[in-house]
Amino acid sequence: MKLSDKRIVIMGASSGIGAATAIAFAREGAQLVLGARGKEGLDDIVRRCREAGGSAEAVVVDAIDAAAVEAFARQARATLGRIDLWFSNVGAGVVGKFADVPIDDHRRVIETNLLSHMNDAHAVLPIFLEQDHGIWVNMISAGGFVASPYAAAYSASKYGLRGFSEALRAELGKRPHIHVCDVYPTFVDTPGFAHGANYTGAKMSYPPGALRPETVADAVLALARHPRPTTAVGAPATLFRLSNFVAPNLIASGMNLYLDRWARKAERVPQTRGALYAPPSAPSGIHSGQRRDPPPNGALVLAIGALAVGAAFGLRLLGRRAG
């Protein structure tokens, strides 16, 4: 399918995955309308999209404001003529023990990660229903299957997004040309950590082998060609999903032990609210600049993890039979 014929809307397009996806669509010649809070970041990505050969327009919009998102959807449709794919990619995070983080910041994460995506869907679904076609791509995360200690509100939002998508797919079951597609990447090398709030006093960094944003962008382009309900990006994503099914809380408990140690030993930095309440004052780009290749034994670690999942599954079955 030629993506040059596609009309694309991306919310949260000013940096990271959204920006990489916009540029990837632009290289295919697609027409885009890009939304985000930060004008500087949007203008930077619009320029890159046009240099890549696509057509792109920027609209400054706060995805938490439902009325503003509805107006943005109307403007995008008027600009593009129709909307073939809408990518909901707005996201935020707060790192810290739940009781150490102000409740207003937890609320802001829920508004940003969950309610903004619901605002997107509520704005674009009437357009899809009138057109009788459309693809809504919901950026979730592997955190939609495995809870993240030190990020309780983030976990709540991602689990909520997964349930929201499943409900929408059921409601739209009789509309075969309207698709709800979820994307579940593992860690992705974006400016996200720099934008996040941090109440631990410890410097955040990505683990070795974090995905390139372009890898996730390729997955979104694949959905534009062949929509499907669930796409896991990165080998551990499927492993996390299976592990949490056969041994609930196992991975989360292990992560908590690791994060306790990290919070004690990492380089000290001041606490910050990051870009939780206001966009960055300058373009953030696509990458964090921290990416490291995985260690040579990375495949071995995954194999051991798979064996652990299999063992846990076997023990669970034996326990059921013994009971």
Q: Is the pLDDT of residue 27 over 90?
A: yes
d(CA 191, CA 91): 11
- Run of H or E including 129: helix 116-131
- What is residue 76's predicted lDDT score, i.e. its pLDDT? 98
Q: What is the mean pLDDT of residues 135-140?
A: 98
Burial 149-175 (b: 16+ CB within 10 A, else e): bbbbbbbbbbbbbbebbeebbeebeee
Which whole-number Å values give the CA distances from 34 to 70, 72, 94, 161, 289, in the listed order?
14, 10, 25, 22, 24
Confidence of residue 304 (pLDDT cuts 50, 70, 90): very low
d(CA 46, CA 78): 18
- What is residue 306's predicted lDDT score, i.e. its pLDDT? 42
- Residue 154 a catalytic site member: yes
Q: Which domains does the chain have, with CATH numbers?
A: 3-292 (3.40.50.720)
Q: What is the mean pLDDT of residues 269-281?
A: 96
- What is residue 319's predicted lDDT score, i.e. its pLDDT? 45
d(CA 22, CA 249): 36
Q: Is the pTM of this model over 0.75?
A: yes
Considering Cα of 7, then 13, then 19, then 21, what sign does the dihedral take? negative
- What is residue 26's predicted lDDT score, i.e. its pLDDT? 98
pLDDT digits (tens, 9 = 90+) for 179-222: 999 999 999 999 999 999 999 999 999 888 899 999 999 999 99
Residue % of the chain over a pLDDT of 90: 79
Q: Which of 154, 184, 199, 206 is catalytic?
A: 154
Q: Is the pLDDT of residue 293 over 80?
A: no
Which phi and psi angles does 50 have, rounded to 5°? Answer: -70, -40
End-to-end CA distance of the chain: 53
**Longest CA span, the chain:** 64
Confidence of residue 295 (pLDDT cuts 50, 70, 90): low
